[in-house]
């Protein structure tokens, strides 16, 4: 089977529509969410080719196949993350500036700033006294580097 488009996302579906179908999952590393063409295996051992025609990343919860009885859904494996929890706008601005200078991609969930684990970032946070913790956590989307050059 070759998947060329995303049907919907679980967040957009009624609970009853989800519950009436058998669900298979494809577990991806967050970095693989950016790949438009890839070969994957579901948690039931079925091989699937993904060749998305639209230019967009996969997101956790994307339904890539659905009929009246079955669905195949994208899920994401946990990442080793630093969860930064600044206590003030000053701390947030300071660490955002520092990480931006390093071109590190970040994501935000509630009041948490998430970056992929890096020992240098861990040391920086310790030096600045900004609260953080290291944890394995699933993210919904890929950490995307933004293209930029210093001219």
Q: What is the pLDDT along the chain (151 residues), one digit of tens a residue?
A: 899 999 999 999 999 999 999 999 999 998 899 998 999 999 999 999 999 998 888 999 999 999 999 999 999 999 999 999 999 999 999 999 998 888 888 889 888 999 999 999 999 999 999 999 999 998 888 887 555 444 5
**Whole-number pLDDT of residue 141:** 81
**Whole-number pLDDT of residue 149:** 46
- Final residue of a domain: which of 28, 55, 76? 76
Q: Is residue 149 a part of any domain in this protein?
A: no
Strand, helix or coil at 23?
A: strand
- 84 plus 133 within the same structural domain: yes
Question: How far, CA to CA in Å, does 70 sit from each of 11, 14, 19, 21, 40?
Answer: 17, 15, 10, 5, 17
CB 63 within 8 A of CB 71: yes
Q: Structure pTM?
A: 0.76
Q: What is the CATH number of the domain that holds 23?
A: 2.60.260.20
- 83 plus 69 within the same structural domain: no
- Final residue of a domain: which of 28, 57, 76? 76
Q: Is residue 89 a part of any domain in this protein?
A: yes
CA distance 35 to 56: 9
- 71 plus 123 within the same structural domain: no
CA distance 95 to 102: 11
**Whole-number pLDDT of residue 150:** 44
Q: Is residue 150 a part of any domain in this protein?
A: no
Place of tokens 């210093």: 150
The values of phi and psi at residue 36, to 5°, are -80, -25
CA distance 49 to 26: 11
Domain residues for the domain of 102 are: 79-137
Residue 1 makes CB contacts below 8 A (sequence gap 6+) with 46, 48, 49, 65
**Whole-number pLDDT of residue 139:** 86
**Whole-number pLDDT of residue 148:** 44
The count of structural domains within the chain is: 2
């Amino acid at each position: 089977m070759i998947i060329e488009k995303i049907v919907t996302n679980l967040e957009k579906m009624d609970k009853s529509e989800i519950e009436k179908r058998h669900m298979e999952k494809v577990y991806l590393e967050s970095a693989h969410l950016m790949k438009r063409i890839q070969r994957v295996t579901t948690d039931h051992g079925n091989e699937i080719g993904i060749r998305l025609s639209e230019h967009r990343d996969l997101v956790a919860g994307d339904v890539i196949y659905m009929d009246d009885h079955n669905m195949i859904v994208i899920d994401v494996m946990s990442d080793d993350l630093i969860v930064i929890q600044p206590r003030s706008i000053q701390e947030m601005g300071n660490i955002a500036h520092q990480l931006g200078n390093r071109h590190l991609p970040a994501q935000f969930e509630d009041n948490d700033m998430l970056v992929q684990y890096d020992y240098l970032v861990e040391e920086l946070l310790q030096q600045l006294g900004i609260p953080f913790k290291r944890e394995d956590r699933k993210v919904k989307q890929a950490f995307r580097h933004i293209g930029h050059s210093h001219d």
